[in-house]
Structure 1
């Protein structure tokens, strides 16, 4: 279908759900995936460097006196954040010498009771959160220093949270340049050696007003 329309390359943008082996005709087109949505097949990809962002978040929280960060996400974005958050959590507590049996947890946005129990039992003193979870974060009596990896679509940011805004413009430009290279060299189909290009995200200090943030 795409080839009949004169399309030679396809950019696969990020999706809300994880994609695994979608039924596309791969062989005659050049492909570049943007983001983490496509798990298989393995294509050339441009995505956020979540590991670098989380490392920077940990450093910020440490500056604020946090030594037992909790890593929090929600099931809906498991495919986006799970691997990086879990890896960073295990690495942090392995190297810090602190003991924390469950440093990473996935919770629905409204599971307040389990969130409170996790904070108390793990003695969490700061948070790295995949996306804003205001109901859970406001349920803690004391305000925990928090870093948001990605704001939600409404731009609602909990009070006293800092975080990142993905540099989608840079990822888009990089994806187009990579696609141009593939087409010029006739690298079509599923690559034998897929490349991944990473883009770190600029840091922002969020205001309390929804949808507004300051650099």
Structure 2
């Protein structure tokens, strides 16, 4: 005979409280005191309590099939010096779109909240609390934000990518190393052998080295000729475009690539200024949708936004706040985009 399953009613009877209190305590609800939560957890463990998976599945089914009401907002913190520029990046706007759709499905409203330079950390923190914000998304930033003495322990937090190194929260990003491996393999299958890579060295370091690491691994894996990547610092392209164009020209003449993979939106225009035709003289693929060519890597940005919100809402429901003891990364697979900028080569 199967032993009787311990329920929240049994725990409530042992402690002398309501079953609702037990249920909320087991979900780490902030309305239940820490002392009571600890007591409930201890008694539940002693009694051998385990959630009923059939009831959990039924509850999940009901949530999916019941229209959700907006409960509160999730904050998308914009600490850019020019905040209007953030979502002009197509990739970041797709993060927003995926996050907004997921938030609505889960009963939340995604709200962009701009951190003005005039706000102290404590003032901005109080703004979030006043608005009833419990969960925070941190999108990519071009410069490292100064969070000051902002108290992250009051909020559930998820970061997008590695451009922002703190707080040390869970994060969701593209698997850039595997994306570059996939892209170089596709380019080789299309008949390109001398494949070059143009990426700012400082940008790659800030993002964890996945781009250059993936390119190096791809060359060895697919037995391609060794072409060293062009690793110019990012500010050269924005502040000294003439110098950047000169370095690109020298690199092209020395290495003679037949195809190019790049992270930089400036590269296609620079190639045309140097009288290279795309794709007749050199085929070009981008590592993201912000590179103005139609072939390359699709980092599945909407999915990254959706998964970030799902991760954040799970934390909110478990009342997990601040920097977790064991932060993890969710790496989302990218996809290949065919396009006229990198067509399959005709066999000679």
1:137 paired residue number: 271
Question: Pick from 308, 312, 316: which aligns with 1:179?
Answer: 312
1:70 paired residue number: 196
Cα separation, partners in 2 of 1:137 and 1:200, compared to 1, 3 Å: farther
Query: Secondary structure of the residue that 2:154 maps to in structure 1?
Result: coil
1:201 paired residue number: 334
Question: Pick from 175, 184, 193: which aligns with 1:49?
Answer: 175
**What CA deviation, in whole Å up to 9, does each residue of 1:117-154 have, x standing for no partner?**
112223433211113322232226462222111133xx
- 1:75 & 1:105 partners in 2: Cα distance? 5
- The 8 Å contact of residues 10 and 31 in structure 1, kept in 2 or not, is answered as yes
Query: What is the RMSD of the two structures over their aligned residues, measured on CA atoms?
Result: 2.8
Question: Pick from 124, 140, 144: which aligns with 1:19?
Answer: 144
TM-score when normalising by structure 2 = 0.51
Q: CA deviation at 1:166?
A: 3.5
- 1:207 & 1:144 partners in 2: Cα distance? 12
Structure 2, unmatched stretches of 5+, are 1-125, 342-348
Cα separation, partners in 2 of 1:73 and 1:140, compared to 1, 3 Å: farther
Residue 289 of structure 2 is aligned to residue 151 of structure 1:
yes
Q: CA deviation at 1:78?
A: 4.9
- The 8 Å contact of residues 86 and 104 in structure 1, kept in 2 or not, is answered as no
1:60 paired residue number: 186
- The 8 Å contact of residues 158 and 312 in structure 2, kept in 1 or not, is answered as yes
Question: Pick from 237, 243, 256: which aligns with 1:108?
Answer: 237
2:63 paired residue number: none
Structure 1, unmatched stretches of 5+, are 209-215
1:125 paired residue number: 258
Judging by fraction of residues, say which structure has more helix. Answer: 2
Q: CA deviation at 1:99?
A: 4.0
Cα separation, partners in 2 of 1:186 and 1:27, compared to 1, 3 Å: same
TM-score when normalising by structure 1 = 0.78
Count of equivalent residues: 201
Judging by fraction of residues, say which structure has more strand. Answer: 1
Query: Secondary structure of the residue that 1:47 maps to in structure 2?
Result: strand
Cα separation, partners in 2 of 1:83 and 1:8, compared to 1, 3 Å: same
- The 8 Å contact of residues 21 and 41 in structure 1, kept in 2 or not, is answered as no
1:213 paired residue number: none
Q: CA deviation at 1:65?
A: 2.4
Cα separation, partners in 2 of 1:89 and 1:167, compared to 1, 3 Å: closer
